Amino acid sequence: MLPAPPDFSIRSAMVDDLDALIALERAAFTTDHLSPRQYRQHLHSTSATVLAAVDAGGLLGKAVVFYRAGSDIARLYSIAVAERARGRGVAKSLLAAVEATARDRACARLRLEVRKDNAAAIALYERLGFQRFGEKPGFYEDGADAWRYEKRLTDKA
Ligand SMILES: CC(C)(COP(=O)(O)OP(=O)(O)OC[C@H]1O[C@@H](n2cnc3c(N)ncnc32)[C@H](O)[C@@H]1OP(=O)(O)O)[C@@H](O)C(=O)NCCC(=O)NCCS
């Protein structure tokens, strides 16, 4: 039997999503929140992509990616899925869309930081082919350490 198609879709986030993005941000993270002002900037910026996973009931998840001029490395700054929607492949779909968007922008690699104590996110990234390549001690506002992960988006060395 074929797997059921997802009952949600992924699209670019819009200004109308702002309140839901902020609510999800606050529910999913205890520190290092993006502010409404920062979200507003990123929604309009050419050096950022904000993706939204939505269903008929509203926002299920979001991913924020940054690009730097002259660099072929995209950075996944943030990804979160609402508790009610976890375990349904929403993060996996968001990451597939993030990778496609980064490839469209000629990025060869996608990098991210993750708290060393965030087992769910580490499992997600490793399952999707990200490789650990370093760490950032005290990276988060509360002093927690981060692992650094990277995924190659092209076959080129
Ligand atoms: C981490 C997070 C984004 C995962 O979202 P999700 O939509 O539930 O993840 P998915 O359903 O797409 O899971 C994809 C894979 O990730 C792994 N995974 C996800 N949640 C997991 C968990 N709680 N424990 C272990 N593995 C997990 C699994 O390998 C899973 O694949 P499988 O279901 O085929 O085994 C979500 O738990 C979340 O928003 N957490 C709070 C915010 C956060 O920590 N963000 C990451 C910051 S770096």
Residue-wise pLDDT for 77-125, tens only, equals 999 999 999 999 999 999 999 999 999 999 999 999 999 999 999 999 9
> Which residue, by CA, sits nearest to atom 27 of ligand 1?
120
Is residue 34 one of the residues assigned to a domain? yes
Q: How far apart are the first and last CA of the chain?
A: 38
Is residue 134 one of the residues assigned to a domain? no
CA dihedral for 8, 128, 23, 52, sign (positive or negative): negative
CB atoms within 10 A of CB 25: 20
Q: Please name the amino acid found at residue 48.
A: A
For residue 49, what is the domain's CATH number? 3.40.630.30
* Position 157 pLDDT exceeds 90: no
Mean pLDDT of the chain: 95
C-alpha of residue 92 to centroid of ligand 1, in Å:
8
C-alpha of residue 78 to centroid of ligand 1, in Å:
13
CA dihedral for 15, 5, 27, 135, sign (positive or negative): negative
Is residue 138 one of the residues assigned to a domain? no
Is residue 97 one of the residues assigned to a domain? yes
| Confidence class for position 68, pLDDT limits 50, 70, 90 | very high
Q: Say what the pLDDT of residue 76 is.
A: 98
Is residue 70 one of the residues assigned to a domain? yes
Q: Are 98 and 49 in contact (CB under 8 A)?
A: yes
C-alpha of residue 106 to centroid of ligand 1, in Å:
27
Domain that holds residue 14: 9-113
Ligand 1, CB within 6 Å, residue ranges: 28, 79-81, 86-92, 114, 118, 120-121, 123-124, 127
- In this structure, are strands 48-55 and 58-66 parallel, antiparallel, or unpaired? antiparallel
When divided into structural domains, the chain yields a total of: 1
Is residue 103 one of the residues assigned to a domain? yes
* Position 5 pLDDT exceeds 80: no
Q: Say what the pLDDT of residue 156 is.
A: 66
Q: How far is the C-alpha of 68 from the C-alpha of 8, rounded, in Å?
A: 30
Is residue 31 one of the residues assigned to a domain? yes
Is residue 157 one of the residues assigned to a domain? no
